């Protein structure tokens, strides 16, 4: 059964998949392949989403963890600052059109991101699942979602649903359907339908109430 924190883990999977694409494009470009500049440029919007996500965690998730596991969240906040620095290094390399440095900084960004997300999945969110009641989890996820600027929500949905598998899509839709007012969910459903394209039919088969 889908639980509120599954939305966050779906975002984590999207971050992994997008960063893998960006890093592969940077590496292939450094090896002489052409035509991948737009794929590399994805890192700018990727980082916007990552910053919204990190800010939401710091505002909503970390305070809840602090209540039941003091001092744990501090290390994850330091990871966030490290990701900020990784973005700055990659941005500088891309701006300078230094292909080798772009590949190096992209690989470093990916490594740090993968380690950070893996720790959060195995440790931070395990603490949330085991020690924080589901109503408080849902409240924290709701607060976290507000870190995304409302006018950018359609872009965030399009980004997310293009990068996650059907299992994650199903979990996200089930949670949103439970949490959102019907009129809001109707609008979100249209955005997801557009983002998933031909995959919408598969999602409806998983979640028949979407019809």
The 10 Å Cβ neighbour count of residue 122 is 9
What does pTM read for this prediction? 0.96
- Reported confidence tier of residue 1, pLDDT bands at 50, 70, 90: confident
The 10 Å Cβ neighbour count of residue 78 is 11
pLDDT of 3 reads: 94
Per-residue tokens: 57 = 């965690």
* H/E stretch holding 47: helix 37-56
- Mean pLDDT across the stretch 165-179? 96
- Dist CA 73 CA 96 (whole Å): 35
> pLDDT exceeding 70 applies to what percent of the chain?
100
Per-residue tokens: 86 = 């990784």
The 10 Å Cβ neighbour count of residue 190 is 12
CB 109 within 8 A of CB 89: yes
> Which of 210, 115, 129 lies closest to 170 in space, CA to CA?
210
- pLDDT tens for residues 23-62? 999 999 999 999 999 999 999 999 999 999 999 999 999 9
> Which of 187, 184, 210, 195 lies closest to 156 in space, CA to CA?
195
- Reported confidence tier of residue 211, pLDDT bands at 50, 70, 90: confident
**Residue 193 to residues 13, 76, 154, 200, 211: CA-CA distances in angstroms?**
20, 34, 12, 6, 11
pLDDT of 24 reads: 98
pLDDT of 175 reads: 95
> Which of 5, 2, 3, 22 lies closest to 163 in space, CA to CA?
22
Average pLDDT, the chain: 97
pLDDT over 90 (residue 143): yes
- Reported confidence tier of residue 76, pLDDT bands at 50, 70, 90: very high
- Dist CA 90 CA 42 (whole Å): 12
pLDDT of 87 reads: 98
- Dist CA 105 CA 129 (whole Å): 34
- Reported confidence tier of residue 91, pLDDT bands at 50, 70, 90: very high
- Mean pLDDT across the stretch 67-96? 98
- Dist CA 18 CA 60 (whole Å): 24
pLDDT of 46 reads: 98
């Amino acid at each position: 059964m889908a639980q509120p924190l599954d939305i966050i883990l779906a975002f984590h999977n999207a971050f992994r998949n997008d960063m893998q694409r960006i890093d592969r494009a940077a590496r292939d470009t450094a090896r002489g392949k052409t035509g991948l500049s737009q794929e590399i440029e994805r890192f700018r919007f990727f980082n916007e989403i990552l910053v919204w996500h990190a800010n939401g965690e710091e505002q909503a998730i970390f305070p809840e963890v602090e209540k039941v596991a003091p001092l744990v969240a501090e290390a994850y906040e330091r990871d966030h600052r490290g990701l900020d620095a990784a973005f700055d290094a990659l941005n500088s390399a891309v701006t300078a059109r230094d292909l080798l440095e772009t590949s190096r900084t992209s690989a470093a960004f990916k490594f740090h991101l993968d380690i950070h997300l893996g720790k959060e999945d195995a440790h931070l969110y395990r603490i949330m699942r085991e020690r924080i009641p589901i109503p408080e989890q849902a409240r924290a996820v709701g607060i976290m979602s507000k870190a995304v600027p409302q006018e950018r929500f359609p872009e965030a949905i399009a980004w997310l649903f293009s990068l996650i598998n059907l299992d994650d899509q199903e979990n996200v839709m089930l949670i949103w359907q439970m949490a959102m007012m019907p009129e809001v969910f109707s609008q979100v459903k249209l955005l997801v339908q557009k983002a998933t394209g031909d995959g919408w039919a598969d999602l409806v088969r998983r979640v028949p109430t979407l019809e």
